[in-house]
Structure 1
Amino acid sequence: MIGTQTPKISIVLPVYNEEAGILATIAALEQFISNQDEAYEMIFVDDGSVDASAQLIKQARLNDDAIRLVQFSRNFGHQLAITAGIRYATGDAVVVMDADLQDPPEVIPAMIKCWRAGNQVVYGQRLGRDGETWFKKLTAKLFYRVLKRATPLDIPLDTGDFRLMDRRVVTVLAKLDEPGPFVRGLVSWVGFKQTAVTYERHERIAGQSKYPLNKMFGLAIDGLTSFSGLPLQFSVWAGAGLFLLSVVAFIHIVVSGTAGESDLLLATLLLTTSLILLSIGLVSTYLYRIFVSSRKRPLYVVAETTGFRQVQHYPNYTESSQKWG
């Protein structure tokens, strides 16, 4: 909760190969912070970048001690980078945003206002997505609506990870050690009072999207299998649909006598095989999540941190070295 003293806001930014625009992001955030009343820290989590992102952040820290850096030993993924940033954050509230300025810092004051009004989570809800292809916009829109219908949680439509969370929410999230976390789903799962702030998502300032089609698909699968048992019912629906199709095909053959039985048999066999394989794949996804959880490995490995005096340790967390500088 907000005390009488000036609150501290932690901004968590996952970073992966952002050298083309990271200095512009830092400059924009510094400009924004200079005009705010709250105290701020910027926590950059380098998710195993193979470019100069980490070095540029370290250089920027020489002139700004509000900058912090967490470096993973390899690429562990965007959602785990957010998880690590949340665990390292020390603010009264934590803002999660992308490091490419697609999430505009100018929205943060509106989030803080809602937070001061008593909301523990204030999420950014997109009105538009500049600079993205029609295909990505369409698939994102479909994904959020399928996810909302498939899960018992009230996961807001058209929202990413851009949000402000109260310290109480952050404390709960930091203690979760779920493999393959779907952060925006977990935030809905923990509850608390939540509200939305609408905004226009900007175009990337530089570089390329770190969520190509394969990663978008993986995130969608994680979201569905983390919070919904609905895909497991697919085989039941598929079996019922295939039964009805078989009945219709049989009636058509008997009545018309025009369809070739061999062609129909082959088509039915292929359809049946594909449905069986898809059903097995869905079940295997759930089994794999159980397997990953049973290994009890750390969620991520931190190779080095810069700018932290004290770090809270949590389960499934490994850190190699830490330094202040």
Structure 2
Amino acid sequence: MADRDQSSAAPVLSVVIPCYNEGENVPLLFGRLMPALHALGVSIEVICVNDGSSDDTLDRLRAVQRDEPTLRIVDLSRNFGKEKALSAGLAHTRGQAVVPMDADLQHPPEAIAPMLEKWREGWEVVCARRDARAGQSLKDRLFARGFYWVFDHLSDVRLPREVGDFRLMDRRVVETINAMPERSRFMKGIFAWVGFRQTEILYHQGERAAGISKFSPIKLLRFAFDGLTSFSNFPLRVWGVIGAAISTLAFCYILVRIIRTLVWGIDVPGYESILVSVLFLGGMQLLTLGIIGDYLGRVFDEVKGRPLFIVRRLYEPGEE
């Protein structure tokens, strides 16, 4: 296959890095990232998306940019969340190949070289699969395993195991993702849904260089639920099955009570059974309404048609 490096005047490689309160990690990241990128021997650009950081992330990125002409900074007007910050970065890329990665150095920059080699072989998506989850507790690993199991069984899209946002994508893949209009962005699902010719490399996930994770257990749970509802309508359809099962059990119970009354006569009714039935059915109804409301909220967001993100300013190299 012809070498893709010569196919366009655009940079060969774009690296996208969403940043939210990563001030401590910025010098550590670029101290390791840039030597790895320059060693590739191809034209590059690095796009950092400042996702409404409240610390000195933007100032530190600007300081790096003064000495690094390949760095472009997309400064968002507020915090939109990692998925939309990543979408903003992808929308500003120009490279023939694009690599999203985290700013905390858990995604090793050295893994980009083997991904680039796979891309040159003709693969359109090169996923980086971690060999272990570094720095995570047993509870977090079990939660992740449970999420993948549920997602695989309830969604038509299968997520590659132990693969996050760290991957290389061909320009055609990125343009396809950028053209998708949906506002509920579960990027791992979107990456898997678009398809194209995919392969994997294996890498060792490092420890977080500095700071703490921005995802609390509640945020992770919400993120998992967002991912499921973005790619499956099973949570809506399942309540029809549950409702039919409950109705069948209730009908059988009514028959039993009628037969009991005809044979043994009327006995003293029990308030406990009535209370349990009312509370159980009421809880099921509220849960059903909550799930329907979540889907309806997504429809509401889509109908409003608001942009995914708002760029306050784009800092190009050489600007003051």
What CA distance in whole angstroms lies between the structure 1 residues aligned with 2:146 and 2:24?
Answer: 31
AA matched with 1:99 = A
AA matched with 1:117 = E
Confirm or deny that 1:48 pairs with 2:52. yes
1:49 shift after superposition: 0.3
The equivalent of 2:159 in structure 1 is 155
1:300 shift after superposition: 0.8
Higher deviation after alignment, 182-191 or 240-249: 240-249
The equivalent of 1:119 in structure 2 is 123
The equivalent of 1:317 in structure 2 is none
Confirm or deny that 1:189 pairs with 2:193. yes
1:218 shift after superposition: 2.4
Query: Larger Cα Rg: Structure 1 or Structure 2?
Result: 2
The equivalent of 1:203 in structure 2 is 207
The equivalent of 2:272 in structure 1 is 263
AA matched with 2:118 = C
The equivalent of 1:5 in structure 2 is 6
AA matched with 2:243 = G
Between 1 and 2, higher relative CO (CA 8 Å, sep ≥ 6) is seen in 2
The equivalent of 2:182 in structure 1 is 178
The equivalent of 1:220 in structure 2 is 224
AA matched with 2:6 = Q
Confirm or deny that 1:303 pairs with 2:312. yes
Q: SS in structure 2 opposite 1:129?
A: coil
Higher deviation after alignment, 66-75 or 270-279: 270-279
Q: SS in structure 1 opposite 2:6?
A: coil
Q: 2:298 aligns with which of 279, 289, 308?
A: 289
1:271 shift after superposition: 1.9
Q: SS in structure 2 opposite 1:123?
A: strand
Label 1:249 to 1:126 Cα distance change in 2 as closer, same or farther (>3 A): farther
Task: Report the count of equivalent residues.
Answer: 307
Q: Which runs of 4+ in 1 moved over 6 A?
A: 247-254
1:214 shift after superposition: 2.4
Aligned pairs for 1:25-44 (under 5 A) are 25-44=29-48
User: Retained in 2: the 8 A contact 1:125–1:199?
Assistant: yes
1:57 shift after superposition: 0.5
User: Retained in 2: the 8 A contact 1:107–1:199?
Assistant: yes
Cα displacement string for residues 35-68 of structure 1 (whole angstroms, at most 9, x for unaligned residues): 2222221111011000000100000111111111
User: Retained in 2: the 8 A contact 1:132–1:203?
Assistant: no
User: Retained in 2: the 8 A contact 1:235–1:276?
Assistant: no
User: Retained in 1: the 8 A contact 2:16–2:90?
Assistant: yes
User: Retained in 1: the 8 A contact 2:5–2:42?
Assistant: no
What CA distance in whole angstroms lies between the structure 1 residues aligned with 2:144 and 2:252?
Answer: 35
Aligned pairs for 1:50-89 (under 5 A) are 50-89=54-93
Cα displacement string for residues 86-137 of structure 1 (whole angstroms, at most 9, x for unaligned residues): 0111111000111101111122122112212211111122321111122222
Q: SS in structure 2 opposite 1:162?
A: strand
Gaps of 5+ in 2: 261-268
1:244 shift after superposition: 6.0
Label 1:2 to 1:214 Cα distance change in 2 as closer, same or farther (>3 A): farther
User: Retained in 2: the 8 A contact 1:145–1:157?
Assistant: no
AA matched with 2:300 = F
1:297 shift after superposition: 1.1
Sequence identity (%):
36
1:166 shift after superposition: 0.2
The Cα RMSD (Å) is 2.4
User: Retained in 1: the 8 A contact 2:18–2:86?
Assistant: yes
Q: SS in structure 2 opposite 1:201?
A: coil
What CA distance in whole angstroms lies between the structure 2 residues aligned with 1:243 and 1:197?
Answer: 51
User: Retained in 2: the 8 A contact 1:148–1:157?
Assistant: no
1:301 shift after superposition: 0.6
Higher deviation after alignment, 70-79 or 105-114: 105-114
Q: SS in structure 2 opposite 1:131?
A: coil
AA matched with 2:274 = L
Higher deviation after alignment, 70-79 or 122-131: 122-131
User: Retained in 1: the 8 A contact 2:4–2:120?
Assistant: no
Q: 2:284 aligns with which of 275, 282, 286?
A: 275
Label 1:109 to 1:55 Cα distance change in 2 as closer, same or farther (>3 A): same
TM norm structure 1: 0.87
The equivalent of 1:104 in structure 2 is 108
Higher deviation after alignment, 91-100 or 148-157: 148-157
What CA distance in whole angstroms lies between the structure 2 residues aligned with 1:142 and 1:2?
Answer: 41
